[in-house]
């Protein structure tokens, strides 16, 4: 395949990862973002957020000149392929806010050369592509190319992908987008080495992901349906966890065996304070809203969303049943919606901290990467600490709200006063070890 001039619009998690990886695959890539701070960060060889291995990849591709960043849309003129990776936040009613998507499409339509391909990577409701096609010149092909990367493992997921999907009415354009991704597979060893992500490069040779061409509408629906089903599994596990608490069963034992059924699978069956981030919450609400616009109700997804919303409150009520919160020093370890990322968007850990503060707790919070991103959403009474040690000093209650590796290591617990309550909101600690050290343990669905 001839190597291409690529423009990636939007320098969030999806856009920055895509731009760096395509550049590392020897394409010439320009990242466009209206946020000057993100452009400066990329130009300095650093991702605008924390993602394992991404800084190394950005630094390498910036230094070789394969990747550059700008705020100017003039760069689109020479692009063979333009990727739209802008945000699609949810509206107050749960529907997807597509203002950025349509704004970018209109600007790209003014600059793209005939024969170029406009690719939508942002997650959008089914039917959006047909509306964008009306905006683009007829000489421009439109392809839906949803991403399936997980924050904190984005580079690994790129190298060990399950499927690459391209949907559209122009089969040649879909084929080009799939072939473009195949060049990434050709450079997988180099990407693994440069990024420093821990993978066995010998396994890359044996890995065989699937390349799939679909209808435009199918591609749009595939991504949001995948996320909705994973969210459903999490909420199902949390529903059973509440029953496990009531019956003194152990949710880990239950879901471990249930997930052992090959028809079901163990992934996304971990009970805890629920899902968050920039994808699952808005994709679930967006799917519900999109379905309603077509006259279809999705009560099963509404239930999943309701269970997820309730989990931080459920955990706080469990704490209150055994320990007073008023004027009690509570340390909350973890604010990111998951470990391995600085993303605190719609984080249940943040919601948990806020609820504890609302109940009168003196909350001291710490996260190794997400403290700054979490601050705008934290209750003003919460003290954000620079170290875990400061958050823990004098604490009677400790809440593990995100399963960072440093919180799984039991060394942090030793300075606590004997008899302190350890609340494992993500079920990442061995209960017996916590209790053997003289502390009370409270998990989610793990029995008495």
Q: Report whether pLDDT(1) > 70.
A: no
Q: What percent of the chain has pLDDT over 70?
A: 99
Distance CA 392, CA 329 (A): 9
Output the CA angle 413-416-420, nearest 5 degrees. 100
Question: Residues spanned by CATH 3.40.50.720 within the chain?
Answer: 5-214, 311-442
**pTM of whole model > 0.85?**
yes
In which order are the strands placed within the sheet that holds 210-214?
67-70, 28-32, 5-9, 81-84, 117-120, 141-144, 163-167, 210-214
Q: Say which range, 83-87, 158-162, 349-353, 384-388, has the weakest mean pLDDT.
A: 158-162
The residue-averaged pLDDT of 275-282 equals 93
Q: Span 311-442: which CATH code?
A: 3.40.50.720
Q: Span 5-214: which CATH code?
A: 3.40.50.720
- Which 8-state DSSP code applies to residue 90? B
Confidence class of residue 202 from pLDDT cuts 50, 70 and 90? confident
Distance CA 132, CA 123 (A): 14
State the catalytic residue, choosing from 85, 279, 385, 428.
279
pLDDT at 448: 61
Are the beta carbons of 273 and 444 closer than 8 angstroms? yes
For the question of residue 385 being annotated catalytic, the response is: no
């Amino acid at each position: 395949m001839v190597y291409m001039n690529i423009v990636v619009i939007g320098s969030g998690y999806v856009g920055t990862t895509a731009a760096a990886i395509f550049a590392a695959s020897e394409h010439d890539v320009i990242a466009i973002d209206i946020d000057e701070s993100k452009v400066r960060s990329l130009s300095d060889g650093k991702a605008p957020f924390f993602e394992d291995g991404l800084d190394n990849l950005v630094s390498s591709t910036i230094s070789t000149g394969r990747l550059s960043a700008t705020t100017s849309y003039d760069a689109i003129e020479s692009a063979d392929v333009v990727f739209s990776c802008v945000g699609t936040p949810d509206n107050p009613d749960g529907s997807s806010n597509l203002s950025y998507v349509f704004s970018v499409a209109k600007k790209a339509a003014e600059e793209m050369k005939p024969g170029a391909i406009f690719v939508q990577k942002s997650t959008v409701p089914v039917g959006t592509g047909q509306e964008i096609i009306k905006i683009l010149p007829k000489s421009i092909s439109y392809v839906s190319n949803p991403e399936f990367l997980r924050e904190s493992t984005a580079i690994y997921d790129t190298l060990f992908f399950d499927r690459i999907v391209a949907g559209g009415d122009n089969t040649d354009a879909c084929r080009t987008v799939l072939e473009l991704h195949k060049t990434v597979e050709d450079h997988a060893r180099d990407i693994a080495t440069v990024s420093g992500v821990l993978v066995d490069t010998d396994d890359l040779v044996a890995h065989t992901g699937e390349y799939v061409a679909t209808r435009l509408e199918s591609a749009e629906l595939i991504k949001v349906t995948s996320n909705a089903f994973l969210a459903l599994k999490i909420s199902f596990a949390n529903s059973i966890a509440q029953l496990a608490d009531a019956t003194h069963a152990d949710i880990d034992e239950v879901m471990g065996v249930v997930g052992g059924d090959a028809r079901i699978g163990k992934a996304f069956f971990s009970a805890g304070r629920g899902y968050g981030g920039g994808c699952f919450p808005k994709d679930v609400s967006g799917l519900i809203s999109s379905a309603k616009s077509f006259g279809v109700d999705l009560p099963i997804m509404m239930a999943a969303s309701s269970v997820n919303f309730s989990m931080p409150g459920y955990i706080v009520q469990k704490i209150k049943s055994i320990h007073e919160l008023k004027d009690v020093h509570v340390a909350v370890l973890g604010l990111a919606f998951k470990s391995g990322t600085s993303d605190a968007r719609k984080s249940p850990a943040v919601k948990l901290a806020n609820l504890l503060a609302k109940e009168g707790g003196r909350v001291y919070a710490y996260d190794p990467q997400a403290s700054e991103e979490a601050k705008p959403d934290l209750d003003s009474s919460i003290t954000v600490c620079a170290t875990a040690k400061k958050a823990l000093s004098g604490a009677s209650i400790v809440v593990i709200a995100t399963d960072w590796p440093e919180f799984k290591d039991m060394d942090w617990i030793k300075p606590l006063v004997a008899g302190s309550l350890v609340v494992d909101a993500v079920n990442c600690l061995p209960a017996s070890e916590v209790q053997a050290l003289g502390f009370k343990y409270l998990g989610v669905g793990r029995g008495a």
